[in-house]
């Protein structure tokens, strides 16, 4: 599975802006060197990083510990408070993608049903 470092970089940049935080503060809070934070945020060096590094950054950004890991692997990030997933299990990963898509389809179907019901109500008038 390919790694999406651009998504990780964008998420870090967006979250830093939301929190009004600077790279230096993120580095201090996460225990990750500012040079590494800069490389990841600017997506200048794409190399394997420890899961712990991404988890430390996520926690310092007040996100779910696996948020950045999920983005890296093109998965939907878990919400804060959700249980941890086994990110290395390909079956779990695929099931999570299928589950997310099924939720989207269910929501679209509910919207279509509401539209059809509204059309039926208009025609009866």
Query: In this structure, are residues 43 and 5 in contact, taking their beta carbons and an 8 Å threshold?
Result: yes
Q: Helices in 20-79 by DSSP H: which ranges? A: 23-30, 34-42, 51-60, 67-72
Q: From start to end of the chain, where are the E strands?
A: none
Domain 1-80 = CATH 3.40.50.300:
no
Look over the chain and give the mean of its residue pLDDT values, rounded to a whole number.
Answer: 88
In Å, how far from its chain's centre is CA 23?
A: 20
Q: Nearest Cα to 11, choosing from 64, 85, 51, 48? A: 64
Domain boundaries along the sequence of the chain? 1-80, 89-125
Instruction: Check pLDDT > 80 for residue 1.
Output: no
- Tens digit of each residue's pLDDT (9 = 90 or more) over 76-119: 888 888 877 766 667 776 777 787 788 889 999 999 999 999 88
- DSSP letter for 49, please: -
User: What gap in Å lies between CA 113 and CA 123, rounded to an integer?
Assistant: 15
- Tens digit of each residue's pLDDT (9 = 90 or more) over 38-82: 999 999 877 788 889 999 999 999 999 999 999 998 888 888 888
* pTM to 2 decimal places: 0.69
């Amino acid at each position: 599975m390919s790694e999406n470092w651009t998504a990780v970089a964008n998420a870090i940049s967006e979250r830093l802006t939301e929190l009004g935080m600077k790279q230096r503060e993120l580095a201090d809070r996460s225990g990750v060197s500012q040079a590494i934070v800069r490389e990841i945020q600017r997506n200048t060096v794409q190399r394997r990083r420890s899961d712990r590094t991404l988890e430390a950054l996520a926690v310092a950004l007040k996100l779910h510990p696996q948020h950045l890991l999920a983005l890296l692997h093109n998965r939907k990030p878990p919400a804060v408070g959700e249980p941890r997933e086994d990110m290395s299990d390909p079956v779990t990963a695929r099931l999570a993608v299928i589950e997310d898509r099924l939720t989207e389809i269910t929501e679209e179907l509910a919207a279509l049903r509401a539209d059809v019901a509204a059309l039926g109500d208009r025609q009866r008038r």
